[in-house]
Amino acid sequence: MKIIMLGAPGAGKGTQAKMLAEKYGIPHISTGDIFRANIKNGTELGKKAKAYMDQGMLVPDELTVDLVIDRVQKDDCVKGYILDGFPRTIPQAEALTKALSGRGEKIDAAVDVEVPDEAIVTRMSGRRACVKCGATYHIVYNPTKTEGICDACGDALILREDDKPETVQKRLTVYNEQTQPLIDYYKTLGVLVEVDGTKNLNDVFADICAILG
């Protein structure tokens, strides 16, 4: 089963992707992991990607698709895979469709974990992190025993820059402009699966599995 995960930052699609990968026995693939592995191993594609990244430039769509296609041809992808964080734009999606089609393959499902923007802002701005030991908490869903103090090491917790409401809102704006059109794209292809991401994560997982079978 070849699955793409869609959903705004903070919607919980990464968590669902990991759970689905475990259930179906297929790899959970993120473009970040692909880039890091290719750069670390000094592959030809990795060298090309690094040249762009070293200059602070985005890796071009064509090269990113080449890296993804190279990854999904590995032995562990025989039964399928879950792509998380790719594609992000329509050109990337079209390039992926074309590349897969050339191999006689296609995406089976694009899972959209739907969470309203205001709920994501609330969810992410409630996160707290411990700089010292790396533990993470949430003031509502996973509070510490003592407010503002890490349960694990006793150090003070912080609200990370990435989790501040204004930062989250900026990221959501970019997502809605760039990635929202993907929902329509995969709907047109007849593979879009929409689930309510505001539910408990186990309920969201159950809903996805019920649709995928």
Does 88 qualify as catalytic in the annotation?
yes
Q: Active site includes 171?
A: yes
Residue 127 a catalytic site member: yes
Contact 108, 20 (CB under 8 A): no
Choosing from 2, 123, 127, 128, which is the catalytic residue?
127
Give the residue among 111, 87, 109, 88 at the shortest CA–CA distance from 99: 87
- The yes-or-no answer on residue 128 being catalytic is no
Active-site choice (13, 71, 123, 128): 13
Catalytic residue among 48, 160, 164, 199: 160
| Set 48, 50, 88, 199: catalytic member | 88
Which residue in the list 48, 50, 164, 171 is annotated as catalytic? Answer: 171
- Dist CA 8 CA 179 (whole Å): 8
State the Cα–Cα distance between residues 163 and 140, nearest whole angstrom. 15
* Contact status, residue 135 vs residue 153, Cβ threshold 8 Å: yes
Task: Confirm if 85 and 31 have CB atoms less than 8 A apart.
Answer: yes
Give the active site residues: 13, 88, 127, 160, 171
